Structures are given as structure tokens and as C-alpha cells.
């Protein structure tokens, strides 16, 4: 958990301009028909959790530049960096999100991203709570 959140927070700091606001939200919910489905602007590695699953949610939302659709679809790939010239300055390996997504899946959960150019990034950690099914 800590590793995932630290990763998302450092990304929000590193991959957005200085002074960009970052919001962290936590809560519980049930996966809804719309919330569980993939929709335009949403990406993730594993499939959405079944509708009705009780979940806890941690969101790291930044007001940075956001990501284009192609980048959003690939940021969870190992070694993928959306802005290589800028990322190189920071020495990132492009592994952080791939590892975070793998940890989330290992706990039966999911890491997903809602973004669009100019609309910032919302990374959402969704973890099932209590008995599943
Ligand atoms: N909040 C964000 N806003 C814009 N782009 C982002 C954001 N978070 C991640 N990215 C993009 O996604 C890419 C992949 O992120 P990831 O955390 O996997 O790797 P990294 O940060 O480059 O390196 P590492 O985490 O391994 O040190 C980043 O290089 C960056 O281009
Ligand atoms: Mg990173």
C-alpha cells in the first residue's frame, strides 16, 4: 500500500510542473455499473472488478497536463515513459507504475487511471474489502 501511494505521489511531483496541486482522496464504495466499466479516458492493466464489489479507494489526483490516450494506455507497461526527454532528467526507469499495478493485482485489486490532455491525472487504487462475491 505504502509503496503504491508513494509511487503515485512522487510521480505527481516529478511528472508535473512545479507548483501543480495534488489531491489525495480516500473512501469506500461499491463498484457501480459505470464505475467498473472501462470508459473513454480510463486505462488499467487488469479488468475492472465485478459490479457490486465493496472496495476501498485511494485516489491521487493532480492538476498537471494529463496524458494523451496512447500514453495513458501504456503508462502501466514496464519501462514505458510518456515524456522521455523530460523523464530522463529525473532518471526514472518507467517501472514504478508497472510495479504498483502488479502489487494492486496481487491484493485482488486494480490500479486505474482517468486522464485526458489538459485535465490532469487521477490514479485510483481500488482494493476489495471483506468477503468477495
Ligand atoms: N501524474 C502524472 N502526470 C503525467 N505523467 C505521468 C504521471 N505519472 C506518470 N506519468 C508518466 O508515466 C510514465 C511512467 O511512470 P512510472 O512511474 O511507471 O515510471 P517513472 O516515474 O518514469 O520511473 P520510476 O517510477 O520507475 O522511477 C512516466 O515516465 C510519465 O511519463
Ligand atoms: Mg514513477
**Which pLDDT value is given to residue 39?**
67
Using 70 as the pLDDT threshold, list the residues of the chain that sit under it: 33-39, 85-91, 131-133
Verify whether ligand 1 is closer than 6 Å to residue 58 (CB atom): no
Domains annotated for the chain, with CATH where assigned, are: 2-128 (3.30.565.10)
Distance CA 24, CA 5 (A): 9
Distance in angstroms (rounded) separating the CA atoms of residues 71 and 82: 6
Tell me, what's the pLDDT at 26?
97
Among 21, 59, 92, say which to mutate for ligand 1: greatest number of ligand atoms within 8 Å of CB.
92
* Best CA proximity match to 129, nearest among 107, 113, 111: 107
**Per-residue pLDDT tens for 80-101?**
999 776 655 666 899 999 999 9
Q: What is the pLDDT of residue 46?
A: 82
Query: Do 71 and 82 form a contact (C-beta atoms < 8 A)?
Result: yes
33 Cα to the center of ligand 2, angstroms = 30
Give percent above pLDDT 90 in the chain. Answer: 74
92 CA → ligand 1 middle, Å: 7
Amino acid at each position: 500500500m505504502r509503496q503504491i501511494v508513494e509511487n503515485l505521489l512522487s510521480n505527481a511531483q516529478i511528472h508535473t510542473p512545479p507548483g501543480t496541486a495534488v489531491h489525495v482522496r480516500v473512501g469506500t464504495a461499491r463498484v457501480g455499473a459505470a464505475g467498473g466499466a472501462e470508459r473513454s479516458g480510463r486505462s488499467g492493466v487488469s479488468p475492472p472488478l465485478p459490479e457490486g464489489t465493496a472496495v476501498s479507494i485511494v485516489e491521487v489526483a493532480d492538476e498537471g497536463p494529463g496524458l494523451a490516450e496512447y500514453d495513458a494506455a501504456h503508462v502501466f507497461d514496464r519501462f514505458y515513459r510518456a515524456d522521455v526527454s523530460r523523464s530522463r532528467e529525473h532518471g526514472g526507469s518507467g517501472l514504478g507504475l508497472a510495479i504498483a499495478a502488479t502489487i494492486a493485482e496481487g491484493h485482488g485489486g486494480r490500479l486505474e487511471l482517468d486522464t485526458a490532455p489538459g485535465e490532469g491525472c487521477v490514479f485510483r487504487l481500488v482494493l476489495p474489502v471483506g468477503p468477495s462475491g
